[in-house]
Amino acid sequence: MELIPIYLGYDSREAAAYHVACQSIIERSSEPVCFIPLALNLLREYDNSGKDGSNAFIYSRFLVPYLERWGAQHKHAIYVDSDVLFRADIAELWALRDSYMGVQVVKHDYKTTQARKYLGTPLESDNEDYPKKNWSSVMLFNCGFQENRKLTPEFVAGAQGSFLHRFEWLSPNRVGSLPIEWNWLVREYPKNDSAKLLHHTLGSPCLGGEHWDQEGGHEWRRTLKNALAPMGGPAATG
């Protein structure tokens, strides 16, 4: 039995998404897990004031190796955005870790189908195409990897966003691949019943409106209901 450390992006504007992501992991995991929210108020050594982005964890995610003390706590760790829903056992993802790689990601290669994201909400913004888009939304970090030691709070705060999200601190051959089922982009890719992780990249169901009934919306609402169930109450099944 091995503890799996899981870092999740946290934005108070989408707090429900964070809790649903955690609940979906708990319901399916065959191994013990530990959740660490990347909430900015908890990252006192990190100055985010010079950054901009669509969510509060757009850059803090790269602090995972630092927070793991370069592998002294756990050699590997998982990072996921909060707008995800796990459909499979996270231990299956954990089993894919490769010590030769500094990080492992799903290497998406797509053009977005939507010009705007988070439609109808205060978060609404342009949805631009750029190299390696969404690669960093699910990451399996090798925390003790030498090149990852560059990722100090000062380095992350000062680096360009494109440098971080394209993994340019690593040699290209040290960015490993994960199966696409572990970061299935809802509304960007066709519906996929075999997806192990649904990523609501254009807007979490917690935002309501058109986001409520997208692929995985029913599962998301059922998982939310389970997370909020009173003690001793039945789990949602439908």
Does 145 fall in a domain? Answer: yes
Please give the Cα distance from 120 to 27 (Å, whole number): 31
Q: Among 22, 76, 55, which Cα is nearest to 165's? A: 55
pLDDT in tens, the chain (238 residues): 789 999 999 999 999 999 999 999 999 999 999 999 999 899 988 887 655 555 668 899 999 999 999 998 999 999 999 999 999 999 999 999 999 999 999 999 999 999 999 898 888 999 999 999 999 999 999 999 999 999 999 999 999 999 999 999 999 999 999 999 999 999 999 999 999 999 999 999 999 988 998 999 999 999 999 999 876 566 666 5
- b/e per residue 144-183 (b: at least 16 CB within 10 A): bbeebeebebebbbebeeeebbbbebbeeebbbebebbbb
For the chain, the first-to-last Cα distance in angstroms comes to 31
* pLDDT at site 2: 84
CA 28 to chain centroid: 17
* pLDDT at site 206: 93
User: Treating both helix axes as pointing N-terminal to C-terminal, what angle do 217-228 and 15-28 enclose, rounded to 10 degrees?
Assistant: 90
- Contact, 87 vs 220, CB < 8 A? no
Does 235 fall in a domain? Answer: no
C-alpha triplet 179, 226, 193: angle, nearest 5°: 30
Does 182 fall in a domain? Answer: yes
Does 190 fall in a domain? Answer: yes
* pLDDT at site 234: 60
* pLDDT at site 1: 79
Interacting residues of 34 by C-beta distance below 8 A, sequence separation 6+: 3, 4, 5, 6
* pLDDT at site 185: 98
Q: For strands 103-105 and 138-142, give the pairing.
A: antiparallel
Does 238 fall in a domain? Answer: no
**Got the DSSP string for 70-91?**
GGTS-SEEEEE-SSEEE-S-HH
Q: Tell me the C-alpha to C-alpha distance, in Å, between residue 158 and each of 76, 79, 133, 144, 155.
A: 25, 21, 21, 22, 5
* pLDDT at site 230: 77
* pLDDT at site 174: 98
Does 129 fall in a domain? Answer: yes
Residue 203: domain span: 4-228
For residue 163, the domain's CATH number is 3.90.550.10
Does 237 fall in a domain? Answer: no
Does 176 fall in a domain? Answer: yes
C-alpha triplet 103, 106, 109: angle, nearest 5°: 125
Provide the domain count of the chain: 1
